[in-house]
Amino acid sequence: MGGSFRNERYTAQVADFSVSVNQEAVNNAEQTYPLLVFQELPISR
């Protein structure tokens, strides 16, 4: 199980919902590296 992402092509979208980190709102539109959603899981880049 598991695997590598090297030989596959995947897409991620910028999170278009409200996000907070440590109880502080994150304005994703202003971020140099916005938070992304990958395979339905939010991730940071």
Residue 4 in domain: no
Contacts 24+ apart (CB under 8 A), 25-33: none
Q: At residue 30, what are phi and psi to the nearest 5 degrees? A: -95, -5
Tokens of 16: 């278009």
Residue 19 in domain: yes
Q: How confident is the model at residue 3 (pLDDT cuts 50, 70, 90)?
A: low
Q: Model pTM?
A: 0.57
More confident residue, 30 or 44: 30
Residue 6 in domain: no
What is the predicted pLDDT for the residue at 4?
A: 63
What total of structural domains would you count in the chain? 1
Nearest to 21 by CA among 31, 12, 10, 11: 31
Evaluate whether 37 touches 10 at the Cβ level (below 8 Å).
Answer: no
Q: What is the residue range of 30's domain?
A: 12-43
Residue 7 in domain: no
Q: How confident is the model at residue 45 (pLDDT cuts 50, 70, 90)?
A: low
Residue 25 in domain: yes
Evaluate whether 12 touches 38 at the Cβ level (below 8 Å).
Answer: yes
What is the predicted pLDDT for the residue at 9?
A: 83
